[in-house]
Structure 1
């Protein structure tokens, strides 16, 4: 091959952006992408929070931030820890202008064909660049998209430079390149000569080096990948044997069956049936963990369905311990006090003002993120209610009392109905819901003429960033769904709960009213980012800032807390208080 092609992998390389978005993982949340879910490269930046990224068989702990380049076809799982994790994703294609369908014929693997992680405090300009790229992409204009591609190329360049500095400039050998190519193209009818040309060596050299490193020849390696994929499809899909054979590159179903039986000892059909019988129990557990909170009537009485199974209500529980403040709110709405409850905060414990005075006879059980399990044991409750974030404590909690586990982001209306069944307050639950819907419907009618031509934004300052919430967020749903307030165009067309932007990009939101979720109650002082936001918005006479307590607006999703939020919205928009 020409020397220039071997030494200049960037000479004809170009990139094309495909999509860009931002999102939030709640505590315990998971973003998982398998091998078949995307066919493009992906740039992932995680900002704030903490968690883990699993990729290529390795688990990387995420601290303050992370930047990651993920080559197409590489499965990964991003898991949020005890606090929310904010991320941005940009997908793109990379190809040579003259050979768009084929990788570069070089035994040095191109940097855009590998996945790597920079688990350091990422440069602030990378975050800002990513935000700018996503914003320009969402506008959908020709010149803006052109600029987004240019900015993306720059951020990828800087990320690769950082990575290669850490690697000492080491190059992957030809075996890695061929193995990577096989992993992406094993469904095709690959020839040895094609693989040797890719590696830049003879067939004999490739076979010898490949077998020395992989313990298999190139063609055996192809067969191995095909059969591994076939086994997964047999286990987890209902595709027919013929469909599976065709998808993995075997045009003859009977030949595929013979090859499969030689490898696994049984026919594909027998393999599927055997695996199904072994995984019934695991499948049942998976269904339970994804179950929505609900209840039903049985001959023995009411049954509560939750993430860890079912709970038979023999009689209403009298001493309930709750490991999330929203559940304390629900019980108080029925006139019931929890025996014990967690609060929020780290240095000191806080409760929303709407429920604080009603918890005088309630024992403190630590915080949502760090529950005091010894205090729970000493409390001797007859029922414990928690969220999926407390899954790691489930066995210990179960030894204290029966445990109900619900998804933390379950709607408060659903939880209210379940709690009504649990406590014998079914009628009260219906009344509470009816009153709320009547109230919000009337207030919506009253606000409509007041806000004509104006939009309302829900924002939360973080460390160097601002979260702009959408209608998919639980508090956003109160503003935009229940009250019908006009949402800014900036976040109108998204299924994510929020966008994350730098402070200097706040004017792009273009809202008339900003509900600013403040952490000053927990922190005792106003943060630098919050002060920066206030200084910026105070200069505009047509923009109104309404500072509200984040503990109430985010930490207490029960009827009392939600109605308190509606009270504050009404006061801010109708009376200007």
Structure 2
């Protein structure tokens, strides 16, 4: 298990994800985030049914038992996604014989300290500017969606643990990515696509959302309804690169961001972006960037130090 708990009282200064509601601007604050949590941590009142003024996104990854939402019990199964709005009654653990979940807890505050207390579904509509509805019934993620949710949440924690302003900015940008994930995977969306939509755009959007995974040409062919050879040619014509090279570029850019904005080791970063072999990651990074990951991090740190010296002169 690894986790983040907010310890400072001042608000986040970045404006990566603000919401306007009834004439007021609300800013997000992440209170807590955890991956693979298997024991109750926090205040004693959270051991039973309770409410508080926050949003919860809670994904069970290993569990046996039930969870409670607004006086109703539901099976807690692997892949069960629980979304809790402010002041909504909930109990995640007391009726579970065993559990492991990944979660994030956050709020939105205005400058006068007012808290945004609208239902999460309404928050999604506010965020997108259009009416959004969560799918009816229990929300359940498959194995690939579980991996993607946990990966996004892990990046949020990595950025927050860096204790830097740019790290905090990237954390809240990644919170927006998590909300995007919720919209795309557990909301009712109009599935009608324009008849003339370029299949290469569909493939590009898929890679954008799954770049840390091992994506096969067969998968890309299936989602675009084209042959493997045809989609490579069409993608290259549209974006001047192949799907594989595009995915590699996304991974390298993600690695550069983590090298600058987190305290993770190079081997940890390699795993975060989809490479189990650290040596392969080093070779690939040097081939694309011209220097090793360690050299890239050191050059960034040195550049930041020079910038601060100039500001102090």
Q: Which of the five TM-score ranges fits, normalised by the shorter chain? A: 0.3 to 0.5
TM-score relative to the length of structure 1? 0.24
Q: Quick one: higher RCO (CA 8 Å, sep 6+), 1 or 2? A: 2
TM-score relative to the length of structure 2? 0.42
Larger radius of gyration: 1
